[in-house]
Amino acid sequence: SLLATLQREGRLLDFLKEPIDAYSDAQIGAAVRDIHRDCAAVLERQFALRPVLEQQEGSVVSVSGNSAGRIRTTGPKAGQPASSGTLVHPGWLATRCELPTWTGDSAAALVVAPAEVEIR
Helix (H) or strand (E) holding 110: none
Cut 0.75: pTM above it: yes
| Predicted pLDDT at 65 | 72
Which mean pLDDT values do the consecutive 10-residue runs of the chain (120 residues) have? 94 95 94 95 97 96 82 88 91 94 88 91
CA distance 19 to 31: 13
| Predicted pLDDT at 27 | 93
CA distance 48 to 94: 6
